[in-house]
Amino acid sequence: MPSPSPSNQPHYTFDELYNLQVKFFDNFIYPADITQAKSINSTLLAEDVQGRIDVTRTFEGRELNTEYLFGLFANLAADPNSISLLGVPISYEILHFTANEYITSAATRFIFNFTSLGIIVPIEIDSWNTWNKAGQVTQYDGSFKYWQWTVDYIIASSAPLFNATSPTQAVEILNRALASSICETATTYCNGTNTQYSSMAACYRYLTQEVRFGEAYELGRNTVLCRMVHQNMVPFRPSVHCPHIGPSGGGYCTDDKTYAGTVEDDYFNISFIPYGY
């Protein structure tokens, strides 16, 4: 016989959980994400929400997760000509869904608009969520399916835009373009005590010569790709996010994790197994 669920977790019906999932995805899509980003602290998220994305890192708290889940993409949409290997989510379709008590699991195909690269790309995200009694996300654990293939496809698709004759050449051009964009962000927003580089030239030199571009899975390591992700949050809170695009990586773009340590990390506080199993 199954054990009783923890008393502090809700007991939603399947319909209620499905509707909660749809409500969250509806707000993840552009332009609804702009409203969530402007709220600073999205009420779709619990105050102590925990989040993990397999190709990046873990994120704690409502304000930080509002910035990463909504603000990142809202900023991308606001500057469509800025070169990025990240796209703006414009639609979605739930492919698989199951739910029990306070837990949902969904495989969802999102359509992303990579405006600056002139391409539309379908990307599947597999996610697990837990929900509190207020219908807020307390935890999310997301994985980008086929992500290495996705990044390879995006790079190959961008080659004609840059008149590149190979994916390798496209990466070289993208590296320079992303470095310029990141350095512009650093110069504009990271001043005074938040300064990360002594000059635009020093920033560009570091990002093109002293740090690697990064593999698809390294959006949470010491790479240009990681700083590409985090530059979108810098305008929200420079004091928090400027270090992430600087040489130190600010604890987010650093090589401080191992493969085994990442896989074996029991990060979440609430069980993703219902009925007390």
Summarised one tens digit per residue, pLDDT across range 76-103 is: 999 988 999 999 999 999 999 999 999 9
Instruction: Mark whether 56 and 167 lie in a shared domain.
Output: no
Residue ranges making up the domain that contains 230: 163-265
Tell me: do 175 and 240 sit in the same domain: yes
How far, in Å, CA of 249 to CA of 254, rounded? 5
Q: Find the mean pLDDT for residues 159-174.
A: 96
Q: What pLDDT score was predicted for residue 1?
A: 42
- Tokens 């920033």 belong to 203
Cβ–Cβ contacts within 10 Å for residue 138, how many? Answer: 22
Say how many domains are in the chain. Answer: 2
**Confidence at residue 211, expressed as pLDDT on a 0 to 100 scale:** 98
Is position 275 within any domain? no
Same domain, yes or no, for 110 and 29? Answer: yes
Q: Is the pLDDT of residue 117 over 70?
A: yes
Q: Would you say residue 157 has pLDDT above 80?
A: yes
145, 177, 197 - which closes a domain: 145
Examine the pLDDT at 218 and tell me if it is beyond 90: yes
Residue 160 pLDDT > 70, yes or no? yes
Average pLDDT over residues 64-70: 98
> Is there a single domain that holds both residue 52 and residue 94?
yes
**Predicted confidence (pLDDT) at residue 263 exceeds the cutoff of 70:** yes
Residues 98, 46: one domain? yes
The residue out of 99, 117, 145 marking a domain boundary is 145
> What pLDDT is recorded for position 17?
99
Looking at the domain assignment, is residue 251 inside a domain? yes
Boundary (domain end) residue, out of 116, 145, 174: 145
pLDDT of residue 5: 55
Backbone dihedral angles phi then psi of residue 88, each to the nearest 5 degrees:
-105, 125
pLDDT computed for residue 3 by the predictor: 46
> What does the alpha-carbon distance between residue 120 and residue 88 come to, in Å, rounded to a whole number?
9
Whether 110 and 41 map to the same domain: the answer is yes
Residue 220's pLDDT band (cuts 50, 70, 90)? very high
Q: How does residue 6 score in pLDDT terms, banded at 50, 70 and 90?
A: low
- Mean pLDDT to the nearest integer, 130-134: 99
Q: Which of 205, 198, 196, 213 is nearest to 247 (CA)?
A: 196
Residue 221 lies in a domain: yes
Which pLDDT score, from 0 to 100, does residue 7 have?
A: 63
pLDDT at 2: 43
Report the pLDDT averaged over residues 184-189. 98
Query: How do residues 31-49 score in pLDDT, each as one tens digit?
Result: 999 999 999 999 999 999 9
CA distance 236 to 239: 9
Q: What rounded mean pLDDT belongs to the chain?
A: 96
4 pLDDT more than 60? no
In a domain, 157, yes or no: no
Same-domain pairing of 217 and 171: yes
Residues 220 and 246 in one domain: yes
